[in-house]
Amino acid sequence: MITLAIAFAAAAFGYLQTRGFVRRRLAYVDAVHTGAAPVVAGVAAAALAMPVVALLPLVGGGTALLFGAAVGAGVSAGSRASRQRRITA
């Protein structure tokens, strides 16, 4: 039960931080609005998280994969929100 809570907390943190960063800092960067940007960000986040979760006792590879998926979803949501904000402004 604690393992699931840690995994979902890491995923929520990754999603919220990434979405906010993309909305604030990368709104006018064209590369973040491509279809490959969420995939690249998610794979990179999962790859960077793998060595970290290997050292921690309660989490495993699934946590790193969930974190990577959440980061990818955050990039996609942040990109969509920044595009909508640019259109309406």
Band of pLDDT at residue 85, cut at 50, 70 and 90: confident
The amino acid that residue 8 corresponds to is F
Query: pTM (2 decimals)?
Result: 0.91
- How many separate domains does the chain show? 1
**Segments forming the whole domain that contains residue 9:** 2-88
pLDDT in tens, 24-40: 999 889 999 999 999 99
What are the residues whose beta carbons fall under 8 Å from the beta carbon of 19, sequence distance 6 or more?
Answer: 74, 75, 77, 78, 81
